[in-house]
Amino acid sequence: MKELKGAAIIGQSGGPSSVINASAYGAIKAGLESKNITRVLGALNGIRGVLDDNLIDMGKEDPAELALMKYTPSSALGSCRYKLADPDVDDSDYKRILEIFKKYDVRYFFYNGGNDSMDTCNKISKFMMKNGYECRVMGIPKTIDNDLAGTDHCPGFASAAKYIATATMEIFRDANVYDSGMVTVLEIMGRNAGWLTAAASLANLKGQGPDFIYLPEVDFDIDAFLEKAVEVYNKKKKVFIAVSEGIHDKDGKLIAEYGSDTAQTKDSFGHAQLGGVGAYLAGLLKAKTGSKTRSVEFSLLQRCAAHCASQTDIEESFSAGQAAVENAVNGITDKMVGFERVMEDGKYSCRIKLFDLNVVANAEKKVPMDWITETQDGVNEKFAEYALPLIQGQTQLTTEDGLPRFVNLKKVKA
């Protein structure tokens, strides 16, 4: 292995998660401790920070304060949703990145984000190789959606899942407190993959979960749904439902669109901005049953409720960041750090595994069809077997005045 000395840039991108900073901190800490990495630079607002030469010197931060990143939600370096062009069409951004890399003698680039970020990472890696600029590029995954290909699971998923399962149990108890009728619909994030919505099923292990769970992996039939839900309501005077924001009919039309005649806005990656399916279904059930109804959106908290994060997720995310740096220093490039599940004597452990950026970028992993019940309104025990080890352990978040003590970076310009 050829030793490579130079600066490292770490950037964060995409939607926040409770543990994205645990990964970034793992990489920053390992970078600051590495004898080959001369300087650790943070790119503010992801790749935009590189393009705009908006970099901070992580070595200037107080180490104890920096360590709080491990328990702080939502990209501490800031995020972006900027999508790099296809370099064959327009390579001006890439040239600018190369210019910045040369300016700071950047030989290590770590990018911390979801599918789109792995795509960014992949494009930069290939461009640098093609142009003969030696720079080791590693992707550090993060996505509550758990939809990255290859890796057993994604940093961030477990904390969101733990929050969703916990909050589902609490809302279940709330919904069952009166002897009068109650229809409850939980709307959970997940455009195409139902991992997060499936997490509501963990509440069922405690007998405090949904009657029905609908994932975007299967077509949603409104009439069949109403019939089933009303039947349960008539029996118990209660029905409790969890739906993914991305459920759709057999023609692919989003159920959210049924309830809304407002045009769907799209973000810069072309993703539709969803919402409202829970309220729509609750409204239909209100009309059918006359019951009091509650539609609850877990909204932003499912991706930023660090106070309910999984310590397993935090430690794994931290180790993913560390492993990215250690592997890069050891000569590896053009990979994403991921996880391999190891089960020994029924005991879970997690091993770092590297994946080709080519394979990961823009692929999407869904909940396997054989984990979904035959009636397509729930998940079976395979999901719990998969998810339970990941949500173990309460966050060791520091508190101050009864509130979380999150990181406060000085952000000294590089």
Residues 110-123 as b/e (b if ≥16 CB within 10 A, e otherwise) read bbbbbbbbbbbbbb
Helix axes 20-33, 311-329, angle to 10 degrees: 40
Rounded Cα gap, residues 251 and 83, in angstroms: 29
159 binds its own copies (CB under 8 A): no
Catalytic residue among 145, 211, 313, 334: 145
State yes or no: residue 236 binds its own copies (CB under 8 A): no
CA 61, CA 410: separation in Å to the nearest integer? 6
CA nearest to 29, candidates 411, 333, 321: 321
Among 207, 252, 270, 346, binds its own copies (CB under 8 A): 207
Give yes or no for residue 260 binding its own copies (CB under 8 A): no
Sheet holding 136-141, edge to edge: 55-57, 37-43, 6-12, 106-113, 136-141, 335-344, 347-356
**Region of 71-79, 347-355, 357-365, 368-376 interacting with its own copies (CB under 8 A):** 71-79
Q: Which stretch binds its own copies (CB under 8 A): 128-136, 215-223, 328-336, 387-395?
A: 387-395
Residue 356 CA, chain-centre distance (Å), reads 19
Taking CB under 8 A as the rule, does residue 203 contact its own copies?
A: yes
> Residue 349, interface with its own copies (CB under 8 A)?
no
As measured in angstroms, the least distance from the Cβ of 36 to its own copies is 31
Number of residues interacting with its own copies: please give it, by CB under 8 A. 61
* Residue 96 lies near its own copies (rule: CB under 8 A): no
74 contacts its own copies (rule: CB under 8 A): yes
9 makes contact with its own copies (CB under 8 A): no
Tokens 């991921």 belong to residue: 338
Provide the pairing of β-strand 399-400 with 403-404.
antiparallel
Write down the least CB distance from residue 329 to its own copies, Å.
29
Mark the segment that binds its own copies (CB under 8 A) among 123-131, 141-149, 188-196, 389-397.
389-397
Interface residue with its own copies among 290, 392, 412, 413 (CB under 8 A) is 392
Closest listed residue to residue 191, CA positions, set 212, 219, 161, 216: 216
Rg (CA), the chain: 22
The residue among 349 and 394 lying less far from its own copies, judged by its C-beta, is: 394
- Listed residue (206, 220, 345, 204) closest to 280, CA to CA: 220
Element of type H or E holding 240: strand 238-244
Residue 160 interacts with its own copies (CB under 8 A)?
Answer: no
Question: Does residue number 269 form part of the binding site for its own copies (CB under 8 A)?
Answer: no
Question: Minimal distance in Å, beta carbon 207 to its own copies?
Answer: 7
Q: Which of 85, 205, 342, 343 binds its own copies (CB under 8 A)?
A: 205
Q: Does 170 bind its own copies (CB under 8 A)?
A: yes
Q: Is 287 in the site for its own copies (CB under 8 A)?
A: no
Q: With CB under 8 A as the contact rule, which of the stretches 92-100, 137-145, 171-179, 339-347 interacts with its own copies?
A: 171-179
Binding its own copies (rule: CB under 8 A), the pick from 85, 224, 287, 300 is 300
Phi, psi (degrees; rounded to nearest 5) at 241: -130, 140
DSSP for 121-165, please give it. HHHHHHHHHHTT---EEEEEE--TT---SSSSS-TTHHHHHHHHH
Establish whether 211 is a catalytic residue: no
Question: Using the rule CB under 8 A, is 403 a contact of its own copies?
Answer: yes
Letter for the amino acid at 263?
A: A
**Interface with its own copies (CB under 8 A), residue from 91, 297, 334, 377:** 297
Which token pair is 182? 């109650």
Positions annotated as catalytic residues are 145
Interacting residues with its own copies (CB under 8 A): 16, 44-45, 48, 72-75, 78-81, 162, 165-167, 169-171, 173-180, 202-203, 205-208, 294, 296-297, 299-301, 303-308, 310, 312, 388, 391-394, 399-406, 408
